[in-house]
Amino acid sequence: MSIPELVCPAGNLPSLKTAVDNGADWVYMGLKDETNARNFAGLNFDAAGAREGLRYAHAAGAKMLLAINTFPQGHAAPRWQRAIDGAADLGIDAVILADAGLMRYAAERHPQLRLHLSVQTSATNYEAINFYHERFGISRAVLPRVLSLAQVADVVKNTPVPIEVFGFGSLCVMVEGRCALSSYVTGESPNTRGVCSPAKAVRWEKHGDTLDARLNGILIDRFAAGENAGYPTLCKGRFEVEDETYYAIEEPSSLNAMELLPELAQIGIAAIKIEGRQRSPAYVAAVTRIWRAAIDAYAQNPARFSVQADWGNGLARVAEGQQHTLGAYHRKWK
Amino acid sequence: MKLSLGPVLYYWTREALLEFYAKVAGSGVDIVYLGEVVCSRRHNLRLDDWLDLARDLGASGKQVVLSSQALIESESDLKALRRIAANGEFTVEANEMGAVRLLAGRVPFVAGPHLNIYNNETLAWFAELGATRFVLPLELSRDVLRELQSARPAGVETEVFAYGRMPLAFSARCFTARHHDLPKDDCQFRCLDDPDGLALQTRDKAAFLTLNGLQTQSALVYDLSDAIAELRDLKVDVLRLSPQSRDTIAIIESFHERCAGRPGASLEGLRVAPPCNGYWYGVPGMEYRVPA
């Protein structure tokens, strides 16, 4: 049994500091451009912010990760390569990469730079993970949110690469790195621009008592008076299939795997990742504090671990859509 | 330019598949991709059946490639993948990196559309691993293709998905089973009812997506039949046509004519849904631009 490390999101310096203060082992961040998969206006770090963040994290004994996890197109790789050079120069503890060409560049140019395999790489099995390990010496792999617990255990058993899994946050129902739904509708996707269902494509239209949420003209959901109108992420709307109207792809719920913490530790998971670089410092503070408490409680007394009511309530308050799921870890979700 | 027929993405009956490929044998495609790429539960044809079919198609002059599954989750998926990779007879299309590990440095392979080859450096790496053809990711435009082609490694062919509903996403969840309120493990193979997938529309009745088990496709049909001259100028080697339950042979013949510089039959009545071509022009994929 190992005690998983806690990996927390930082969309800006206040979030980074609060993640560190609340007990994150690692914080991950991105630059203010399309080299990362949360390329949102007002979010992310410039070089000075990254330097300050790194200083703050290291002073507290935490480590910092830079996500460079989109796919440069055509001749564009040099811009992403400069981001890798910058991370190495700055002394970032590891970079999270998705594109194979960039991994090769990093492994050749910066052999001392630690590489983590991004969830956007879509590596769902140990053959794939071991291949990246053989070729580029990756130090950790983040699993897509599609595997059941038994499948996660099988991966861990068959790879020398430490495995990180998502524990909490917004849930992708599709295999990450393999979803072009957003570019089909808006022209921009996680792979190409680091965004999904971008805000600039969203239109809210009020018709009498109903509120329509559209994404580049496509009706993602229609809310009756009094219904909680969530952000129109395109896979989480209500659609019609054979005259039935329902959440045909996924409900607007978020992942919470806290009750699986003992199983994840026993499987030998190296780290648990919290999603949400686009969320507020308050979210980062609450989720980091509660997960730190849970992991510490488990480490102290594995046999007696149970999810405390105030942890559950605290997480429920910040969850997207106010609804929790175990996602694919639980076979029935599939 | 050569024409290829992509793998059948839907679940058809054994009879329908055999009848379909008997017709394909006499059609104008040069390359045929065979195998199940979407769901490991689909079994109307087993690997040995696919291999028999591959030999028959090979005997009719087709170059056959075995396509592997795009999402590999379990040990049994890996076992099936290893059998395909070690078939020793036919080239394999890798659709995820596990397959690449089994093929790299051993045999030449096709790097499929789901491997995320978005830039020149990554393409060069795949060429070194032994890829002799790569399929452009669906969401990339002609402008990106031009850049990739300008520095394409020697010995690598370029294939572009040119016709069909686009496979846009994969999930561990089966959306067809979900629609029928069935668990995935006891799905009763309801996707057999939908030989062109299950239509998903918006609440204001716009055709939006197509549910195909674990795969989500566009509702609209990607159609680059008007861009053939441009594709040729860009030195694309292969155009991929994706099978549908009816009129696939007529669509092949129309593309065949167009590739030969003749007008070719209109695809208007042959498509299962209206066309789109936005990705080619670097705009939202669902859009359709009438060629100038």
pLDDT tens-place string over residues B72-122: 999 999 999 999 999 999 999 999 999 999 999 999 999 999 999 999 999
Based on the fold, state whether residues A107 and A220 are members of the same structural domain: no
Candidates A69, A73, A211, partner chain B, best to mutate (most B CBs within 10 A): A73
**Alpha carbon A323 to chain centroid, angstroms:** 18
Q: Which of A218, A246, A274 is the last residue of a domain?
A: A246
Contact across the interface for A125 and B278, Cβ inside 8 Å: no
With a CB cutoff of 8 Å and minimum separation 6, the contacts of A325 are: A171, A251, A253, A254, A255, A256, A333
pLDDT for A1: 65
Q: What is the mean pLDDT of chain B?
A: 97
Judge whether A71 is closer than 8 Å to chain B, CB to CB: yes
Based on the fold, state whether residues A187 and A154 are members of the same structural domain: no
pLDDT for B291: 76
Range 79-108 of A in CB contact (< 8 A) with B: 98-102, 104-105
Better-predicted residue by pLDDT, A117 or A330: A117
Residue A176 lies in a domain: no
Based on the fold, state whether residues A240 and A317 are members of the same structural domain: no
Give the residue from A171, A170, A120, A175 showing the smallest Cα distance to A147. A175
Q: What is the 3-state secondary structure (H, E, C) of A160-194?
A: CCCEEEEEEEECCCECCCCCCHHHHHHCCCHHHHC
| Residue-range definition of the domain harbouring residue B254 | 2-164+221-270
Based on the fold, state whether residues A99 and A120 are members of the same structural domain: yes
Contact across the interface for B122 and A99, Cβ inside 8 Å: yes
Residue B216 lies in a domain: no
Distance CA B284, CA A183 (A): 6
Counted domains in chain A: 2
Range 108-167 of A in CB contact (< 8 A) with B: 121-128, 130-132, 134, 146-148, 151, 154
- What does the pLDDT look like over B193-229, one tens digit per residue? 999 999 999 999 999 999 999 999 999 999 999 999 9
Residue A53 lies in a domain: yes
Residue A321 has pLDDT above 70, yes or no: no
Candidates B41, B117, B119, partner chain A, best to mutate (most A CBs within 10 A): B119
Distance from the B22 Cα atom to the nearest Cα atom in chain A, whole angstroms: 33
Residue B259 lies in a domain: yes
Task: Please report which confidence band the pLDDT of residue A8 belongs to, taking 50, 70 and 90 as the band edges.
Answer: very high
Residue A227 lies in a domain: yes
Mean pLDDT, residues A107-124 taken together: 97
Residue B72 lies in a domain: yes
Residue B36 lies in a domain: yes
A73 contacts in chain B (CB < 8 Å): 118-119, 140, 144, 147
Residue A13 lies in a domain: yes
DSSP A262-282: HHHHHHT--EEEE--TTS-HH
Q: Which of A223, A246, A269 is the last residue of a domain?
A: A246
In 10 A of CB A314, how many CB atoms? 15
Based on the fold, state whether residues A191 and A309 are members of the same structural domain: no
pLDDT for A34: 87
pLDDT for B258: 96
Residue A216 lies in a domain: yes
A178 contacts in chain B (CB < 8 Å): 70-71, 114, 169-170
Residue A23 lies in a domain: yes
Q: The sheet that has A218-223: what strands, in order across it?
A: A202-207, A210-215, A218-223
Three-state DSSP at B13 gives coil
Counted domains in chain B: 1
Task: Please report which confidence band the pLDDT of residue A325 belongs to, taking 50, 70 and 90 as the band edges.
Answer: confident
A79 contacts in chain B (CB < 8 Å): none
Based on the fold, state whether residues A199 and A311 are members of the same structural domain: no
- What does the pLDDT look like over A181-239, one tens digit per residue? 999 999 999 999 999 999 999 999 999 999 999 999 999 999 999 998 989 999 999 99
- Give how far Cα A145 sits from Cα of A9, A326, B4, B139, B201, Å: 17, 10, 33, 22, 26
Based on the fold, state whether residues A62 and A142 are members of the same structural domain: yes
Task: Please report which confidence band the pLDDT of residue B166 belongs to, taking 50, 70 and 90 as the band edges.
Answer: very high
Minimum-distance CB partner of A178 among B78, B121, B169: B169
pLDDT for A233: 95
**Alpha carbon B117 to chain centroid, angstroms:** 15
Q: What is the mean pLDDT of chain A?
A: 94
Q: What angle do CA A195, A198, A200 make, to 5 degrees?
A: 140
**A45 secondary structure, DSSP code:** B
Residue B262 lies in a domain: yes
With a CB cutoff of 8 Å and minimum separation 6, the contacts of A207 are: none
pLDDT for B68: 98
Task: Please report which confidence band the pLDDT of residue B150 belongs to, taking 50, 70 and 90 as the band edges.
Answer: very high
pLDDT for A322: 57
Q: Which of A246, A263, A278 is the last residue of a domain?
A: A246
Based on the fold, state whether residues A210 and A326 are members of the same structural domain: no
Based on the fold, state whether residues A16 and A68 are members of the same structural domain: yes
Residue B73 exposed, middle or buried by CB count within 10 Å (0-12, 13-18, 19+): buried
| H-run or E-run covering A93 | none
| Residue-range definition of the domain harbouring residue A164 | 5-171+253-333
Residue B290 lies in a domain: no
pLDDT for A326: 81
B202 contacts in chain A (CB < 8 Å): 218-220, 239-240
The answer, yes or no, to whether ipTM is higher than 0.95 is yes
Based on the fold, state whether residues A118 and A232 are members of the same structural domain: no
Residue B155 lies in a domain: yes
Based on the fold, state whether residues A141 and A85 are members of the same structural domain: yes
Distance CA A29, CA A11 (A): 6
**CA nearest to A103 within chain B:** B122
Contact across the interface for A127 and B285, Cβ inside 8 Å: no
pLDDT for B261: 94
Contact across the interface for A127 and B97, Cβ inside 8 Å: yes
Based on the fold, state whether residues A189 and A75 are members of the same structural domain: no
A233 contacts in chain B (CB < 8 Å): none
Distance CA B84, CA B81 (A): 5
Contact across the interface for A181 and B168, Cβ inside 8 Å: yes
Residue B66 has pLDDT above 80, yes or no: yes
Residue B197 lies in a domain: no
Distance CA B188, CA B186 (A): 6
Q: What is the CATH number of the domain that holds B45?
A: 3.20.20.70
In 10 A of CB B233, how many CB atoms? 12
Tokens for B220, please give them.
């609209």
Contact across the interface for B73 and A151, Cβ inside 8 Å: yes
Task: Please report which confidence band the pLDDT of residue A334 belongs to, taking 50, 70 and 90 as the band edges.
Answer: confident
